[in-house]
Amino acid sequence: MAVTDEAILRIKAMIRSGELRPGDRLPPEKDLSEALGLSRSSLREAVKRWRSSACWTSAAATAPTSPA
């Protein structure tokens, strides 16, 4: 299994366990990469791949906009 696939699975496990809740911001890149035991570049690639999947929702994309 690719490092990025493993990172995605571990982040999903953190959500399922309640360590991260749906809608929470991810921890800072440095902290999350250390917690997962991988490089920051591998973490960036994993998040990039996860964002391109259907299960990712950005809080910015769902936040209400204020009237102009």
Domain with residues 3-54, CATH architecture:
Orthogonal Bundle (1.10)
Domain segments of the chain as ranges: 3-54
Separation CA 53–CA 36 (nearest Å): 20
Q: What is the pLDDT of residue 18?
A: 92
Residue 15 near residue 21 (C-beta atoms within 8 A): yes
Query: What tokens were used for 66?
Result: 């204020």
Separation CA 59–CA 56 (nearest Å): 10
- Give the predicted TM-score (pTM) of the model: 0.69
pLDDT in tens, 12-25: 899 889 998 878 88
Average pLDDT, the chain: 81
For tokens 């591998």, the residue is 42
Q: Which of residues 51 and 61 earns the better pLDDT score?
A: 51
Exposure letters 36-50 (e unless 16+ CB within 10 A, then b)? bebeeebbebbbeeb
Residue 64 scores a pLDDT above 90 = no
